[in-house]
Amino acid sequence: MADHAPAVRRRAPLRRGLSRQALILVLLIAVAFGTAIYMGVRHPYQTPASSGPPAEPLRMTVIPLAPQGKVPGAADPEHLYARSPAAQFRIGAEGIPLPAARRTAHFSDSQVTNALSIAKDYIVRSALYPEVLTGEQIRPVRVLLDPDQLDQFDQSFGHPAADGRHAPTGWLVRFDASQAELADRRIRVQGTLQAAETDAATLEVTADHTFVYALRAAEAREAGEKVAEASLFTVRRELHFRFDREDLRLRQTQLLVSYVQAGPLSCAEDSTNRLHPLLAGQTAKEGGPAGTDPYATGGATALCGSLATGSQPKV
């Protein structure tokens, strides 16, 4: 029996599962696949949310209109309105109706409506809010601007300049509260809003409105003293707004052009920071606007106009 092999043979141990090399290979493939997916979703060169060009600086023109005689006045502002070209104007925001919104090639009805609504909101806040008109607040207007224009806005109020870029009265309407106050908060307004697509990524809204304010002297009245007469002050504003899709989503706007005519004012008064209305019985001071230096670069031409007699109330 010693010449025969053993009846039971020892078998090699069974290998269960994958080998170490195969397991490492599977892990490497899984890591590479996960990394590829992650980089595809959030790679370091991803386009920022606001892919449009930076906002252009606002270009502004403010033209004072000087009266040809004494400013007419009356004790009752309603009497002035009724005898002026503003007799049929609506009151406040009702004078800024939204037109019918129609879709464009690249913007839907709702997007066009949104652009018109933001433009109207800016107009209301910048020309109808009492706290803005008196110079107490600027934030209601500031919060509607594209962030790219905030530096220019802040510089305008921190360091006003008649350079066509940094006049507070180009951004909003405000009076010298030490001289004039509202005699009637029911401001008369009339004008139009129009929206148009300029390219596949941009909407523009053009606003043209006339605002008529009833003002009177802001001097404190003693007991029994006669109330100062009211007079009308007119501001014509043409504003051009621009919107990209990010502006529409965040309810903000880029203000491109502000063209303002206002009177009665004296051409000799500086209308850069605040408007200094001429009130009932007053006449324009002698002298024209500040001189313009043709050798200076970066400045704006000083302008002034004459307020047509027919624009004043007949009293």
State pLDDT tens for residues 84-104: 999 999 999 999 999 998 899
User: Residue 304: which of 295, 291, 293 has the closest Cα?
Assistant: 291
Distance CA 278, CA 179 (A): 9
- Identify the DSSP state of 159: S
Distance CA 246, CA 160 (A): 30
User: Would you state the pLDDT for residue 250?
Assistant: 96
Strand locations in 177-284 (E): 180-199, 202-217, 231-243, 254-263
Distance CA 220, CA 256 (A): 40
Mean pLDDT (the chain, rounded): 86
User: Would you state the pLDDT for residue 247?
Assistant: 96
Q: What is the pTM of this model?
A: 0.81
Whether the bond into 289 is cis, omega within 30 of 0: no
**Tokens linked to 77:** 């502002």
User: Would you state the pLDDT for residue 28?
Assistant: 74
* Beta carbons of 203 and 107 less than 8 angstroms apart: yes
- Identify the DSSP state of 161: B
- At 296-305, the pLDDT tens digits run 666 667 788 8
The values of phi and psi at residue 58, to 5°, are -70, 135
* Beta carbons of 256 and 56 less than 8 angstroms apart: yes
* Beta carbons of 292 and 299 less than 8 angstroms apart: yes
163 burial via Cβ count (<10 Å: 0-12, 13-18, 19+): middle
Q: Give the distance from CA 238 to its chain's centroid.
A: 12
Distance CA 41, CA 35 (A): 10
Reply yes or no on whether the pLDDT at 213 is more than 60: yes
pLDDT band at 45, cuts 50/70/90? Answer: very low
User: Residue 96: which of 123, 118, 115 has the closest Cα?
Assistant: 123
Q: Are strands 254-263 and 305-306 parallel, antiparallel or unpaired?
A: unpaired
* Beta carbons of 140 and 123 less than 8 angstroms apart: no
* Beta carbons of 94 and 208 less than 8 angstroms apart: no
Question: Three-state SS string across 16-70, please?
Answer: CCCCHHHHHHHHHHHHHHHHHHHHHHCCCCCCCCCCCCCCCCCEEEEEEEECCCC
Reply yes or no on whether the pLDDT at 4 is more than 50: yes
Reply yes or no on whether the pLDDT at 217 is more than 80: yes
Percent of the chain with pLDDT over 90: 66
* Mean pLDDT score, 248-268: 96
Alpha helices (H) along 83-226: 109-127, 130-133, 139-142, 150-158, 168-171
**Tokens linked to 171:** 């951004």
User: Would you state the pLDDT for residue 54?
Assistant: 76
